[in-house]
Structure 1
Amino acid sequence: MNTSKPKIVVLGAGYAGLTTTKRLMQKLHPEEAEIILVNKHNYHYESTWLHEVAAGTINPNQARVMISDIVNPNRVRLIYDSVVEVKKEEQRVVLENNEITYDYLVFALGFESNDFGIKGMDEHAFAIEDIDSSRLISEHMEYQFAKYKMDENADDDSLHIMVGGAGFTGIELLGELVEKVPELCKKFDIDRSKVRIISVEAAPSILPMFDKDLVDYARKSLEDRGVEFRIGTPISECTPEGFIVGDDKELIKAGTVVWTGGVKGSSVLEKSGFELTKGKVNVDADLRLPGEENIFVLGDCSWVWDKEADRPYGPTAQLATQEADVAANNVKALLTNRPLENFVFKSKGTVASLGVTDGIGTVFDDYKLRGKSAAAMKKVVDNRSLFLVGGAKLVLKKGKIRPF
């Protein structure tokens, strides 16, 4: 291989990294640059489906796609390894088992759970971070039911499931749990009334990204199916037994405790000395790291400013894939000495699942959906994200085409 070719290194095969790699393959001839994709696993996973893996409503393999099925290994060098640190001054990436140099770097290593310093949260609560951590939740939950069935002296608290945080992930997880719990009760012959599903949220409302009537619909839908909400209830500590909440230090006990209250960018950002704001990097309008000519930071690792709303865009899969298009264009622009373009987000709407046949959403310039129509739109969104990554073949193989 001709080593004089510019080296483009993409870190992470999530929505942003994988889409950037695909676009670079399409935009560049093999002789123009060497493209290298580094990822911890040999698969990409649909991170927007992890709440379903966590609840056990889908098989983990359904949310996982082999990278070599999407990216041609003859065109892109695939390295399966963990990133330890980026050394900007040396244009070098340190991996667990190797190291590589780069001419252009796309940093898209995704998110990690952010416990905001709440005592005991990291030690005692589960978090939805990847396939393995999500699968652990469903396996633990099922184990609690099995143990309860076997042990005559088992405490009802062990069946309780508590979710900290009522943002997007927390609410979608609750939507799956209300589907899964009746199945587990039937499987282990346990009375459904013994199982509490509890949502604890410090903010005065759930789902801050939706307007009030959709939020009210979502809350009533979940409450009608057995979710207990504790809104405006700050968590001061997580113990092996559950959450300690409120001014009176009430202990809410649960056998399965999941924290979904926030995310931050990969810890590699901090290890690499990147300047962080609330766990992420503020990038320039062209998606580059401030002060760096050849480093782009995408997806959950960066904040991109929405000038109209005067706040950063929320971290979504559609944001990550749109950033990837612009990043790939800008890498090509740097290679060909053309001007770079600024990122402009075009929202396609937001849809939240509340289980298989229910949901809420806003699409097409604030057209509101609720119920089955929102659930159907959610499946369209999920299938579209598969299509963008791997085309029609991947949609047929992994898509959500299950009937209501």
Structure 2
Amino acid sequence: MSNLAKNQSAESNAKSFNNEKNNAEKNSTQNNNQNSSDNNPNASKADSDTTRPRILVLGAGYASLSLLKGLNRQTLKNAQITLISKEPYHYASVLLHEVASGYKDRQTCRDLQAVLPRGVEFVCDSVERILPHRVECARGAYEYDTLIIGLGFSSDTFGIAGVAEHAMSLIDYTQARAIFARLRENLEAYKRTNDERYLRVVVCGGGFSGSELVASIAIEFAKLARQSGVDASLLRLICIEALPNVLPMFAPHIAQKGRAYMESLGIEVRSSCRILACEDGAVVISCAPSASDASNSTESKQERIESKCIIWTAGVKGNEVMDKSFVCARSRVEVDEYLLPKNALVYKGAESGAGVDSGANLDSGAGADSGKINSGAKSGVACAKNSLIGRTYIIGDCASLIDPSTSRPYAPTAQLAQQEGEYLARVFNTIFANKSLGSTASAQTLESIAPFRYESKGTFCSLGNRFGIGIAKNREFSGLLALLIKRFIEWKWWRKLSK
């Protein structure tokens, strides 16, 4: 397909997605109106059924969908399950770099109504704040007995000046498409002005996302330039990384293979360079002296790189809703081996001004006088001490799970998120195994459930559409084979959603 055809297809897809979102919001509004009560505009018909717990799932990413797709019929029958997502579709976040470059578009998304199991209610709404037993969204409030937070990630600027104002972020499908639109606009602007700043792309961050993004842009931007009648040799792609090399999650010799391929695409890899600030049309960096520096200077050199397309991939944190709702670090809450908050959740703006103990310490004796609220207190189902019902679970990018071998949090990845969702599905399937929900609720406790254990099955990184690097079971891969393995992993995810 030509780039012109891709552009027309992208514009058509954007209109289609906007229509889908409007329709989804309209349907959600109609459902809420039809099921409304005098005191609760968001009460559904099922709310009157106090024998089935209300399980509310926030976010439609890898973790949440792995959970929902793993629930069996008995669980779907014995619980009222609702998914809230701000978009009517799921997008594969591991493919956002290919959307941003224009290599792919809508094939990275799936309509939620088409993939959700029967029995799961879908609400298209934007979560704004989480409170005890209630989630406030843009269009209404939704009550719950059990909450699963899987809201995904947001960009972390680390307090660097100008990043939020002057850099684009690769955090969702909409922003990925905005990056591609910027690339097209910049080519047209160059044709009008001959200003080469429009032909420079600066990617801030040489980790997984940044390296995949800049490699894909290097290939697709050149195609787009030739299609637009612009000399592709004038393009300049720059990747800035603070560490000595890009792709630091891989062993040095594997990362070096990735760097060498990136440089073969014409990408300028600026490692050992700290980003000091982003300005309107420029990035200010400070670079450590290189071994080839003839001056033998030991002082860092400051440099200002001008560009009309600055993209920030240097760091992510949990969803910003977490910071608005809880006292936490980097919008993440540390969880235990059951994916429950390790410590008492402290809500912001809760009426009681108190923390809510949704972790494993329900038997600590803390009551209302001490500001601790049993998170199952309002549930229509009786909860035993240490019961798994009436809790708040946190999965995916909003959870900070400690790796026992390093005493540091696991890196938030799609693989980890999927395993967390699959684990939680097994937990709920165990809880609701019996037809008598009351006896199941009192019987299933933390002590009767095996804890979550993460097992990495490998890591693969694509650098364009012909090369990749990776490692699995202590075996290293590079080149086309690594890329094909990554494509197979992606295919398995789509196959899982289609079942």
User: Equivalent residue of 1:177, what SS?
Assistant: helix
Equivalent in 124, 130, 135 of residue 86 of structure 1: 130
Root-mean-square deviation (CA, aligned residues, Å) is 1.5
Equivalent in 261, 274, 292 of residue 358 of structure 2: 292
1:330 corresponds to:
427
- Structure 2: gaps (5+ residues): 1-45, 287-299, 343-356, 360-390, 433-439
Corresponding position: 1:306 with 2:407: no
Q: TM-score normalized by structure 1? A: 0.91
User: Equivalent residue of 1:205, what SS?
Assistant: coil
Kindly state the Cα deviation for residue 310 of structure 1 after the two structures are TM-superposed: 2.5
2:92 corresponds to:
46
Equivalent in 14, 18, 29 of residue 61 of structure 2: 14
Q: How does 1:210-249 map to 2 (within 5 A)?
A: 210-246=250-286, 247-249=300-302
1:75 corresponds to:
119
The residue type equivalent to 2:96 in the other structure is L
2:314 corresponds to:
261
Q: How does 1:342-381 map to 2 (within 5 A)?
A: 342-363=451-472, 365-381=473-489
Kindly state the Cα deviation for residue 155 of structure 1 after the two structures are TM-superposed: 1.3
In 1: Cα distance, 2:475 partner to 2:301 partner = 42
Corresponding position: 1:107 with 2:115: no
Corresponding position: 1:56 with 2:67: no
Kindly state the Cα deviation for residue 154 of structure 1 after the two structures are TM-superposed: 2.4
Percent identity between the two aligned chains: 33
Equivalent in 275, 287, 303 of residue 250 of structure 1: 303
In 2: Cα distance, 1:367 partner to 1:129 partner = 31
The residue type equivalent to 1:34 in the other structure is Q
The answer (yes or no) to whether the contact 1:326–1:341 under 8 Å persists in 2 is: no
The answer (yes or no) to whether the contact 2:75–2:429 under 8 Å persists in 1 is: yes
1:402 corresponds to:
none
Q: For residues 245-284 of structure 1, what are the alpha-carbon distances to aligned partners after superposition, in whole Å with 9 as ceiling and x for unaligned?
A: 11544210112110001111111111112x4233311101
In 1: Cα distance, 2:279 partner to 2:126 partner = 31
In 1: Cα distance, 2:237 partner to 2:114 partner = 39
Q: For residues 145-202 of structure 1, what are the alpha-carbon distances to aligned partners after superposition, in whole Å with 9 as ceiling and x for unaligned?
A: 11212x2x42112110110000100011022112112202211222222110000111
In 2: Cα distance, 1:378 partner to 1:33 partner = 36
In 2: Cα distance, 1:217 partner to 1:371 partner = 9
User: Equivalent residue of 1:276, what SS?
Assistant: coil
Distance 1:80 1:29, change over 3 A: closer
Q: For residues 81-120 of structure 1, what are the alpha-carbon distances to aligned partners after superposition, in whole Å with 9 as ceiling and x for unaligned?
A: 01111112xx111111111111111000000011111100
Q: How does 1:385-396 map to 2 (within 5 A)?
A: 385-391=493-499
Kindly state the Cα deviation for residue 382 of structure 1 after the two structures are TM-superposed: 0.8
Kindly state the Cα deviation for residue 334 of structure 1 after the two structures are TM-superposed: 5.2
User: Equivalent residue of 2:461, what SS?
Assistant: strand
Equivalent in 207, 210, 214 of residue 167 of structure 1: 207
The answer (yes or no) to whether the contact 2:215–2:267 under 8 Å persists in 1 is: no
User: Equivalent residue of 1:28, what SS?
Assistant: helix
Distance 1:266 1:197, change over 3 A: same
In 1: Cα distance, 2:249 partner to 2:466 partner = 21
The answer (yes or no) to whether the contact 2:222–2:235 under 8 Å persists in 1 is: no
In 2: Cα distance, 1:231 partner to 1:148 partner = 28
The answer (yes or no) to whether the contact 1:286–1:330 under 8 Å persists in 2 is: no
Q: Which moved more, 1:300-309 or 1:348-357?
A: 300-309
Kindly state the Cα deviation for residue 25 of structure 1 after the two structures are TM-superposed: 4.6
Q: For residues 17-72 of structure 1, what are the alpha-carbon distances to aligned partners after superposition, in whole Å with 9 as ceiling and x for unaligned?
A: 11112223545141x1111111101111111110100111112x111100011114
1:135 corresponds to:
177
In 1: Cα distance, 2:313 partner to 2:397 partner = 15
Kindly state the Cα deviation for residue 75 of structure 1 after the two structures are TM-superposed: 0.5
The answer (yes or no) to whether the contact 1:172–1:352 under 8 Å persists in 2 is: yes
Kindly state the Cα deviation for residue 341 of structure 1 after the two structures are TM-superposed: 2.5
1:401 corresponds to:
none
The answer (yes or no) to whether the contact 1:45–1:65 under 8 Å persists in 2 is: yes
User: Equivalent residue of 1:57, what SS?
Assistant: coil
Q: Which moved more, 1:106-115 or 1:95-104?
A: 95-104
Corresponding position: 1:198 with 2:238: yes
User: Equivalent residue of 2:71, what SS?
Assistant: helix
The residue type equivalent to 1:130 in the other structure is D
Q: For residues 209-249 of structure 1, what are the alpha-carbon distances to aligned partners after superposition, in whole Å with 9 as ceiling and x for unaligned?
A: 10011111000111011000111111111011120111544
Q: Which structure has the greater CA radius of gyration? A: 2
In 1: Cα distance, 2:246 partner to 2:90 partner = 30
Equivalent in 208, 216, 222 of residue 182 of structure 1: 222
- Structure 1: gaps (5+ residues): 392-404
The residue type equivalent to 2:471 in the other structure is T
User: Equivalent residue of 2:258, what SS?
Assistant: helix
Query: Following TM superposition, where does structure 1 have runs of at least 4 consecutive aligned residues deviating by more than 4 angstroms?
Result: 332-335
1:399 corresponds to:
none
Distance 1:256 1:225, change over 3 A: same
User: Equivalent residue of 1:234, what SS?
Assistant: strand
Distance 1:265 1:29, change over 3 A: closer
Q: Which moved more, 1:195-204 or 1:306-315?
A: 306-315
In 1: Cα distance, 2:74 partner to 2:110 partner = 23
The residue type equivalent to 2:110 in the other structure is V
Distance 1:167 1:27, change over 3 A: farther
In 1: Cα distance, 2:74 partner to 2:413 partner = 25
Q: Which moved more, 1:246-255 or 1:278-287?
A: 246-255
The residue type equivalent to 2:469 in the other structure is I
